[in-house]
């Protein structure tokens, strides 16, 4: 048995940080909102946020903004067994994913985003697609158990060279399809793992400078990927910041457009392009949401189809029924509508009740994590924190393979619960 201390951020803090970050970005960025919304649409957003807070509070039975600690005594032998089970599942999932997408359905290992997306849409999903979709999200989980064993100094560094290609597959796969959401989810989730296991201490030192440089590099790479994707569509990247769907209600100051053109031949161009594109992506969802609420036809309510589209799609592939009613309900396509948009599509104004239920569920996860020391819940809880953190931007419940990751995280918890908690007692206390 070995002792370990885990740091667990609060769900209320995650939601609050997301709200504050949105306000800061919108206030400081050179962006202007073109759609002001109505009292009805803004009240829906306000009550959705309030009910989400209430759900978190009632579920957790406590209002806490601080990061708390869990002290555990862990059976290393059993933890290694759990790691191996999840690693094998992730490995099989990634192999099936590669076979399905790149061999059976004809995608290529290139950054030709549109051709890859077209190849998948023409071929359609089959049985292997379903199985791989269920298994490969374990790649988001396996890195957690590797880091857990690394914190306990019970696994060789050589294992990192085995785990890393499997764990990083969602990022690599996203690059080939021009998707940044899965990469973002993976990076934030991994950061939370590192923070929880005390690999990262948030204070100003050399590590802080390194993190800042890495963030700068991420903006540069994001701008580079955005440029490649725009040019693949035959659109000038700078023009895209003005005419694309996400720029419809959030416009860029013309002076910044001129600035981008003036530095186009310099290395800093992709960095600034990445920052501006990031700001537009971050803030446009709120204004798309209020527009959607104001213009949605109530008779088209999808009754769960928007929030749980992946589940509907799963049964549609098996039983062959049509999902056009979900796509037909969209007011505008190709834009973010925040976490709260899909619940309005599903239940109209009663979506605020759904937000309360979701908040209550996350709050109960947090409660069980602290009171019962169910550390197998950490991956699913941390993904819920990501949903809360980005709630005013995009729904990671409906995007970035969200439902699949949640299912994989929950199944990994069942595995941990079976091997780590049922047969062996774990001592713990919490702050």
For the record, the structure tokens of 286 come out as 């709120």
- pLDDT tens-place string over residues 224-252: 777 777 776 778 888 888 887 778 888 88
SS (H, E, C) 70-132: EEEEECHHHHHHHHHHHHHHHHHHHHHHHHHHHHHCCCCCCCCHHHHHHHHHHHCCCHHHHHH
277 burial (CB, 10 Å; 0-12 / 13-18 / 19+) is: buried
Tokens 């908690």 sit on residue: 421
Q: Look at residue 68 and give its three-state secondary structure.
A: strand
The pairing of strands 2-8 and 68-74 is antiparallel
Percentage of the chain beyond pLDDT 70 is: 83
Confidence of residue 307 (pLDDT cuts 50, 70, 90): confident
Please give the pLDDT value at position 16. 93
- Cβ(54)–Cβ(363) below 8 Å: no
DSSP letters of 305-365? TTTTHHHHHHHHHHH----HHHHTT-SSSSS--HHHHHHHHHHGGGHHHHHHHHHHHHHHH
398 burial (CB, 10 Å; 0-12 / 13-18 / 19+) is: buried
Higher pLDDT, 208 or 30: 30
- pLDDT tens-place string over residues 167-176: 888 888 777 7
Name beta bridge partners: 252: 31
- pLDDT tens-place string over residues 85-115: 999 999 999 898 888 877 776 666 665 666 6
For the record, the structure tokens of 9 come out as 């951020």
pLDDT at 422 over 50: no
For the record, the structure tokens of 358 come out as 């979701």
Q: How crowded is residue 191: how many other Cβ atoms within 10 Å of its Cβ? A: 15
- pLDDT tens-place string over residues 3-55: 788 888 899 999 999 999 899 888 888 888 888 889 999 999 999 999 999 99
Please give the pLDDT value at position 45. 94
- pLDDT tens-place string over residues 256-281: 888 888 888 777 888 888 888 888 88
30 burial (CB, 10 Å; 0-12 / 13-18 / 19+) is: middle
Record the pTM: 0.84
Q: Look at residue 296 and give its three-state secondary structure.
A: coil
Most confident option among 59-73, 133-147, 220-234: 133-147
Region 128-139: mean pLDDT is 83
Higher pLDDT, 213 or 363: 363
Please give the pLDDT value at position 431. 39
Angle between helices 309-319 and 127-135 (to 10 degrees): 150
DSSP at 223 = H
Tell me the C-alpha distance between 136 and 117, whole Å.
Answer: 19
Task: Tell me which H or E stretch contains 422.
Answer: none
Please give the pLDDT value at position 55. 94
Compute the 3-state secondary structure of the chain and give helix, strand, coil in percent, each to the nearest 5.
Answer: 70, 5, 25
CB burial string 321-333: b at 16+ within 10 A, e below: eeeeebeebbbee
Please give the pLDDT value at position 195. 87
Name beta bridge partners: 5: 71
- pLDDT tens-place string over residues 374-394: 778 889 999 999 999 999 988
Contacts of 68 (CB under 8 A, 6+ apart): 7, 8, 10, 370, 430, 431
Please give the pLDDT value at position 37. 86
As a whole number, the mean pLDDT across the chain is: 81
């Amino acid at each position: 048995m070995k002792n370990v201390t885990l740091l667990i951020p609060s769900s209320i803090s995650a939601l609050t940080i997301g709200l504050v970050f949105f306000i800061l970005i919108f206030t400081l960025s050179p962006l202007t909102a073109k759609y002001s919304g109505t009292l009805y649409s803004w009240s829906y957003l306000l009550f959705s946020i309030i009910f989400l807070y209430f759900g978190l509070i009632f579920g957790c039975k406590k209002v806490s903004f601080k990061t708390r600690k869990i002290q555990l005594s862990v059976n290393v032998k059993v933890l290694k067994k759990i790691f191996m089970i999840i690693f094998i599942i992730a490995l099989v999932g990634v192999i099936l994913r590669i076979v399905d997408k790149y061999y059976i359905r004809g995608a290529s290992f290139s950054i030709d985003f549109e051709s890859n997306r077209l190849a998948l849409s023409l071929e359609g999903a089959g049985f292997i697609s379903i199985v791989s979709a269920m298994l490969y999200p374990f790649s988001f989980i396996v890195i957690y158990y590797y880091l857990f064993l690394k914190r306990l100094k019970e696994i060789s560094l050589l294992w990192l060279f085995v785990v890393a290609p499997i764990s990083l597959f969602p990022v690599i796969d996203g690059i080939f399809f021009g998707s940044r959401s899965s990469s973002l989810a993976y990076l934030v989730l991994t950061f939370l793992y590192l923070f929880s296991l005390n690999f990262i201490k948030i204070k100003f030192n050399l590590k802080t400078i390194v993190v800042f440089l890495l963030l700068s590099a991420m903006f540069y790479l994001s701008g580079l990927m955005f440029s490649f994707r725009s040019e693949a569509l035959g659109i000038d990247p700078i023009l895209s910041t003005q005419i694309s769907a996400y720029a419809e209600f959030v416009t860029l100051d013309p002076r910044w457009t001129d600035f981008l053109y003036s530095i186009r031949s310099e290395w800093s161009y992709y960095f600034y392009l990445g920052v501006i594109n990031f700001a537009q992506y971050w803030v446009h969802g709120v204004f798309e949401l209020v527009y959607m609420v104001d213009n949605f036809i109530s008779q088209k309510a999808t009754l769960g189809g928007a929030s749980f589209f992946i589940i509907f799609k799963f049964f549609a592939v098996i039983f062959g029924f049509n999902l056009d009613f979900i796509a037909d309900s969209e007011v505008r396509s190709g834009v973010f509508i925040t976490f709260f948009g899909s619940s309005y599509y599903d239940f109209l104004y009663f979506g605020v009740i759904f937000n309360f239920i979701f908040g209550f569920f996350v709050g109960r996860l947090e409660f069980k994590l602290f009171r019962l020391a169910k550390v197998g819940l950490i991956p699913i809880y941390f993904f819920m924190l990501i949903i809360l953190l980005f709630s005013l931007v995009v729904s990671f419940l409906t995007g970035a393979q969200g439902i699949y990751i949640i299912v994989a995280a929950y199944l990994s918890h069942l595995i941990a619960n079976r091997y780590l908690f049922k047969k062996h007692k774990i001592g713990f206390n919490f702050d």
